[in-house]
Structure 1
């Protein structure tokens, strides 16, 4: 599992500048900006929120602009550096943290919300339960998680596409993913179908 994570994140590191620039425009991702704004509204305001798998930091910067205290985390160090640089350019105050979704370096109940946009889909199905348990662990009571995934069945390497190299993708059935969240301890799980074909967002409360 560790090798899969390293190679997938290595792909993002190799393409950090191209990916960061290409992902900046919300116009390319119908409905996504509104989803971030809704997450910022729903997560309790007394604590920070975590952007888990922040990539180029687009969503983290939007959350900061909405008045949220944000921890932007990613496993890919070059990609994380790109995100930090862009935040400095825009004078956004964010905390940046290199992290592994399977062992988050955060205290129990330390964040009000976890936003994971297209990041947990790179985790093999064998590790998904552990990742969801970690998200649940770091959430404060009443906190929410919003996790976007791609619908489908199966998992494996995807070569090329929008990035050079290969990345691991795990596709899930929304109903089955709801069950996985509930097994990890989440309540009031709701599925929202995104404006992007083949994508959905699962929102659950601790």
Structure 2
């Protein structure tokens, strides 16, 4: 039997709770781009593609690594995450830095983004939507589409595979929910949500891809 939407909230709370419980260690461990081949170049390309002058959203910002890079590239950035301790860690790490003047922090739920329609030039979601159960993916993509301005860009990285469920281990202790997807099937989901020109880029990290689409 498949999941119901009513179960998604509890799955989100438990998964994000693992990040909250390990905010400092996870933030430090994920800070170095050398551990994630190709990722820095992908963030730079997103910053170039997202039309100016509207802000961009780092959706599921974690420790704020990508948000700080985007800000250093001259973008106005909203760093958003559901996990409050993780968000506070990101805020503390960014405090006092020159690029922090273009950074704002916001607790948010991907299924109901607290942002106006057509208010963003881009949404960068690096490894965050993979924690959304399949039953909630349509709503998540619809929310991303809603907050993007015309010609705005969504760049979403996901893990290649099939199936979903609780997984233990990896970069954090305890269990987290993971949703694995086929790149072609995810392209179809983005197109169904209204995105055009969807293209898949296979990341420098084994088992990952980035889907880029235009509103």
Shift of 1:66: 0.1
Query: Aligned residue for 1:154?
Result: 163
Which residue, out of 92, 95, 102, partners 2:104?
95
Query: Aligned residue for 2:127?
Result: 118
Query: Aligned residue for 1:143?
Result: 152
Regions of 4+ moved over 3 Å: none
- SS of structure 2 residue aligned to 1:36: helix
Aligned length: 206
Which residue, out of 47, 65, 69, partners 1:58?
65
Query: Aligned residue for 2:3?
Result: none
Structure 2 residue 118 is matched with structure 1 residue 109? yes
1:65-110 CA distance string (max 9 Å, x none):
0000000000000000000000004342210000000000000000
Note the residue ranges of structure 2 that are not aligned, 5 or more in a row: 1-7
- SS of structure 2 residue aligned to 1:61: helix
Distance 1:46 1:89 in 2: 24
Q: Report the TM-score when normalising by structure 1.
A: 0.99
Task: State how 1:64-103 maps to structure 2 within 5 Å.
Answer: 64-91=71-98, 92-93=100-101, 94-103=103-112
Shift of 1:166: 1.0
Query: Aligned residue for 1:34?
Result: 41
- SS of structure 2 residue aligned to 1:106: coil
Note the residue ranges of structure 1 that are not aligned, 5 or more in a row: none
Shift of 1:45: 1.2
Task: State how 1:8-23 maps to structure 2 within 5 Å.
Answer: 8-23=15-30
Distance 1:162 1:137 in 2: 32
Structure 2 residue 36 is matched with structure 1 residue 43? no
Distance 1:196 1:104 in 2: 29
Q: What is the CA RMSD across the aligned residues, in angstroms?
A: 0.6
- SS of structure 1 residue aligned to 2:172: coil
